[in-house]
Structure 1
């Protein structure tokens, strides 16, 4: 087991995986997540820090911990929302401090069939101690952004995901200013170079490890308009894994297969998909971002990056050994960081003044337009819900009054039933309109102010101001 007296590492292996562990919904959940634990323990090279998403239950978390404890003795299951955020961080080294930061904008309670609001999505934060000095600290951020239910720019939750990207970017920038190694990972539910992706890489110093190594990799599935515009041929499954970094909707993933393949799999047949098969739907939704701590180079007198990227790959593509199904509906993304050969500095890193970088002004205008559009939608929703509340109260009172003149008992029963159900629905709608929507509108105002303030600073910087 690792201890506090162990020498600081010269290499760091990171793994992030969406486990698809929804209780009562995900198929073969127990078997798959147990095998995920087995494969993490058997991985070569072994991971040092692991971030999991959609690991919803303590049972699954403990099953994975039991199989990986010898390798990753420290771990944290994060609690949030009504059902939990499904976020887990495992580590080879001690976790000194944790925090669960819930996103101010995160779905709507009325969309109960989607569940984003009920799980309380946010950022699982962990400060991991890898050695004795302050430069031996990694700040890890594991997240799962709001799912896109329509293609951008028609996604009604685009404003939510944009705000979430803004929030995690602020957290990672703060960690970088403390001089620590920053690792952000998870299922970001975004395409490379999308608005959320650009916000993260502009408003924090972190970089997408895959695009460092593969700058010309895909920016969507081959069937997506953004990728079609590049005029490239439809990639194979092997190309998508090795070059495009596709972690979702791969033809290799059994949970994305057609009915014919699934029927063969259900019969126990181990269906093999060749690497040359056309793969038009695969895309990259899972990411590892990192920003290195800095150290002083005495030979040059300059600050240099302490950690650099060695490699990155898509992993967890194996099947369950007996069920022959994929271990999740996502594949993992993995990366290796290496530390520079210079001796670790003993100087305490407290703050670093990071250079301010900005998006083009029209992008801030686009964000503000999305906020305004969504705010108008929610204002209408609030009026409709409060109006419905008032209508149901009047209807309930009317039904109760009607009981007085009811000629038959069964009519009275129907009126009482309508009154009770109507009152309940009205109160529920009134609470959502008066409490939730009002809270959401206030969160939108905060986000709007931050974007406007950043836009003003971008204008000032462009004009040579401070």
Structure 2
């Protein structure tokens, strides 16, 4: 993992200045926002100048503004890639350049060139950056930070879908959770960003054991890497809804709070529902998905927990909705933004403050064991199926090899050769998937089950 160094900021007297260079359509869009022509949800939080200057000069309690967005930025041409990708990323750059965020976490930014372009064009605000490299296509996850990133760590999930499901692509991305340790004016922040395996079919969720194992690994990773932090912030596209078991695994096992649930409701904006995906007001939402979820899904989260210093949630809301001046959204997801503040009244100025210990309810892990066991049974049956395929294909190859000649059939010999090649490829795939990949998958599930057994004391 290559750590990129800080980019010199554009600043005057220690105060960040907004770079107004460029005259793209996205710049016009930002101007439209100021005129009030679009809903306020379209713009990130823009604080008053005096508050920003005070914070940067070290006066008053520490404020942390953070945002997360699934960018949906597949670089391939449409229809394989993401539609309006270049326009949307340019608009994202413009709105980030005008924002007051301290940290931005992005997912599905699959092209490293796109990441470097965004980081370069916002370097006056986000002096530090990191892209988490993984898989064939890249993990798509990255962090931009106003404060120094002291160190990073990445964990690639042991289960990431199936390599032969090319139409899904999750395996090629190598889903990860990335950690950035950030020094925020002397306070240590552990900021995590992740993107879990997609659901695709809720009624027949083949990937549920994988996603549940990822949720368990995510919670364990956060739990064991954040013990000396002042504040934990976990962001990303979990592909999990609040009522799902994986959501409770993450929250309970890592002892995290959901910023959306803890928010102070100060806006009556009807669009600010918390739903981040498959929303009826998103131009990229298909009509078919609205039949089962007419209001959309909440899949993107900001979770947090104070560890050695008390931080409180000031606000949490949706962001990155409609590009101002257009009918196009920044992504097929909405973003989530939150503001945290050091709670001096609760002891934020005390060196010996610590989060009170919380007893973790492990009963939900029993249900997780059941789902993982079902996944293990599926693996056993799949191995038998592919073993049978290997046997049948070998018999066919042997039978074809016994044919002396097919001269009486037009192109007969050519067809025999082609048939042998196809069957040989099928044999190779069946053996590799059935004997190799499924063994790896089963051992990964077994490891998760044994870890849960240890927690349950069984």
State TM-score, norm by structure 2: 0.79
Taking a change above 3 Å as real, the CA distance of residues 246 and 421 of structure 1, as seen in their structure-2 partners, is same
Aligned-residue offset at 1:358:
1.3
Aligned-residue offset at 1:391:
2.5
- 2:282 equivalent in structure 1: 253
- 1:38 equivalent in structure 2: 94
- 2:133 equivalent in structure 1: 79
Counterpart among 194, 197, 200 of residue 146 in structure 1: 197
Measured in 2, the distance between the counterparts of 1:280 and 1:380 equals: 37
**Contact map agreement 1:116 1:146 (CA 8 A) in 2:** yes
Aligned-residue offset at 1:410:
1.7
Q: Does 2:458 align with 1:429?
A: no
Aligned-residue offset at 1:317:
1.3
Taking a change above 3 Å as real, the CA distance of residues 113 and 432 of structure 1, as seen in their structure-2 partners, is same
- 1:413 equivalent in structure 2: 414
Taking a change above 3 Å as real, the CA distance of residues 51 and 328 of structure 1, as seen in their structure-2 partners, is same
Aligned residues: 392
Counterpart among 288, 307, 315 of residue 293 in structure 1: 307
**Contact map agreement 2:386 2:431 (CA 8 A) in 1:** yes
Gaps of at least 5 residues in structure 1 are 216-236, 260-278, 296-304, 458-466
Measured in 2, the distance between the counterparts of 1:456 and 1:238 equals: 48
Aligned-residue offset at 1:374:
1.0
Gaps of at least 5 residues in structure 2 are 1-8, 15-55
Counterpart among 307, 310, 313 of residue 314 in structure 2: 310
1:39-54 equivalences under 5 Å are: 39-43=95-99, 46-54=100-108
Helix, strand or coil for the counterpart of 2:313? strand
- 1:384 equivalent in structure 2: 385
1:25-424 equivalences under 5 Å are: 25-43=81-99, 46-132=100-186, 136-151=187-202, 154-213=204-263, 238-239=269-270, 241-242=271-272, 244-256=273-285, 280-295=294-309, 305=310, 307-319=311-323, 321=325, 324-341=327-344, 344=349, 354-360=357-363, 363-402=364-403, 404-408=404-408, 410-424=411-425
**Contact map agreement 2:65 2:339 (CA 8 A) in 1:** yes
RMSD (Å), alpha carbons: 2.7
- 2:52 equivalent in structure 1: none
Measured in 1, the distance between the counterparts of 2:351 and 2:118 equals: 36
State TM-score, norm by structure 1: 0.78
Aligned-residue offset at 1:214:
7.0
Measured in 2, the distance between the counterparts of 1:18 and 1:445 equals: 31
Aligned-residue offset at 1:36:
1.0
Aligned-residue offset at 1:344:
4.9
**Contact map agreement 2:312 2:341 (CA 8 A) in 1:** yes
**Contact map agreement 1:176 1:352 (CA 8 A) in 2:** no
Aligned-residue offset at 1:346:
6.1
Measured in 2, the distance between the counterparts of 1:286 and 1:82 equals: 24
Helix, strand or coil for the counterpart of 1:84? coil
Aligned-residue offset at 1:258:
5.5
**Contact map agreement 2:189 2:231 (CA 8 A) in 1:** yes
Helix, strand or coil for the counterpart of 1:254? coil
* CA deviation string 1:108-167 (max 9, x = no partner): 1222211111111111221112234xxx11111101111112226x42221111111111
